[in-house]
């Protein structure tokens, strides 16, 4: 069951997993937005938070020891903590359709969420709100979603270890892989302090550039040579994403799957899980394959799929207009 193709050769989208839809809202007034991953029939979920500056909603609910078994959507948003408001719009959209956890006379939609920091790009007073989350749901489809500078990846940047003037554009990417009867997919908004690395070659695909802005320098290599990072406020970055499978998993297994997805981030982003990142990955199991998940196999596959989504995010990204001083798109 091993996947021998490098992450750069993995295509597809998280919507290849039956039971998953994705919708973007891209803010026209400044580079920001949000992305919703809909599971209208409900999906078992887990989460793993590894960054030191996370911004999240309803992650405690996903603890295997806690009550609710299924979620109805996951929201990824720009706008820092303000962007969590977009989840309210997702809840409203689901409630209008009678989707949610039975609670007395109501059905309460369960919508965990995570945000990334993009407030330094454009007017920080403009950020995803409830209307943005609702619009993302309206746009959700089972077809492969757009990638790059859309949705939660609109204002994303990478390679910020030496300041925004030497950064490059990040974005949102997705990938999937079918092994036997099981499908695994990932979607990720890449807004990292670190560089994006092709794990097959070790090459910096997008990241901190030299002082002249001509080429990536390799952030970690520069630190090892003695170049000190810029002073950064905690929470100035963050990579957030979702992995999903149609295998039937428990909440505890989903939590482990989210942890395995972080291995994919560690292979493709360097450095990762810093004090200025709030890196968070959710895992979803729709169970549509009707088969139990082999956690050994899934743990081997998921990092490849997540790393592929990271590479696709920056390769599809486009420059910001007007761009912050020095921020460059890939290529």
pLDDT at 321: 61
Is residue 299 one of the residues assigned to a domain?
A: yes
pLDDT at 233: 66
Residues 85-124: tens digit of each pLDDT: 999 999 999 999 999 999 999 999 999 999 999 999 899 9
Is residue 1 one of the residues assigned to a domain?
A: no
The domain tally of the chain equals 1
pLDDT at 3: 43
pLDDT at 235: 63
Which residues in 225-325 belong to E strands, given as ranges? Answer: 240-245, 269-270, 280-285
Active site includes 238?
A: yes
Is residue 329 one of the residues assigned to a domain?
A: no
CATH of the domain at 94: 3.60.70.12
Is residue 331 one of the residues assigned to a domain?
A: no
Is residue 323 one of the residues assigned to a domain?
A: no
Q: Cβ–Cβ contacts within 10 Å for residue 173, how many?
A: 28
pLDDT at 215: 84
pLDDT at 168: 93
Rg for the chain, CA atoms, rounded: 18
| Of 238, 239, 245, 286, catalytic | 238
Is residue 308 one of the residues assigned to a domain?
A: yes
Mean pLDDT in each 10-residue stretch from start to end of the chain (331 residues)? 62 97 96 98 98 95 95 98 98 98 95 96 95 98 98 96 91 97 98 96 93 84 84 80 98 98 98 94 98 96 98 92 50 35
Q: Which domain holds residue 143?
A: 7-315
**Predicted model pTM:** 0.93
Is residue 324 one of the residues assigned to a domain?
A: no
pLDDT at 227: 84
């Amino acid at each position: 069951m091993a996947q021998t193709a490098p992450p750069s050769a993995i295509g597809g989208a998280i919507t290849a997993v039956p039971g998953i839809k994705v919708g973007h809202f891209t803010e026209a007034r400044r580079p920001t937005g949000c992305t919703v991953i809909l599971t209208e029939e409900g999906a078992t979920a887990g989460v793993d938070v590894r960054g030191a500056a996370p911004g999240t909603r309803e992650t405690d609910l996903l603890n295997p020891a806690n009550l609710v078994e299924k979620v109805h959507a996951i929201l990824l948003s720009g706008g820092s903590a303000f962007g969590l408001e977009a989840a309210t719009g997702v809840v409203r959209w689901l409630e209008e359709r009678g989707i949610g956890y039975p609670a007395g006379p109501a059905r309460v939609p369960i919508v965990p969420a995570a945000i990334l920091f993009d407030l330094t790009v454009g007017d920080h007073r403009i950020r995803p709100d409830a209307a943005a989350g609702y619009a993302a749901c309206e746009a959700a489809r089972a077809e492969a979603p757009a990638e790059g500078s859309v949705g939660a990846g609109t204002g994303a940047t990478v390679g910020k270890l030496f300041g925004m003037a030497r950064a490059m554009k990040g974005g949102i990417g997705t990938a999937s892989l079918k092994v036997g009867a099981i499908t695994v997919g990932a979607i990720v908004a890449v807004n990292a302090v670190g560089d994006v690395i092709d794990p097959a070659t070790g090459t910096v695909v997008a990241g901190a550039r030299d002082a002249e802005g001509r080429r990536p320098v390799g952030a970690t290599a520069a630190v090892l040579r003695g170049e000190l990072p810029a002073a950064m406020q905690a929470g100035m970055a963050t990579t957030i994403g979702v992995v999903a499978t149609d295998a039937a998993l428990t909440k505890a297994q989903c939590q482990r799957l989210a942890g395995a997805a972080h291995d994919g981030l560690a292979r493709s982003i360097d450095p990762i899980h810093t004090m200025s990142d709030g890196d968070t990955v959710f895992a979803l199991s729709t169970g549509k394959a009707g088969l139990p998940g082999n956690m050994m196999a899934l743990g081997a596959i998921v990092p490849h799929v997540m790393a592929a989504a990271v590479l696709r995010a920056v390769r599809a990204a486009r420059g910001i207009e007007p761009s912050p001083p020095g921020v460059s798109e890939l290529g």
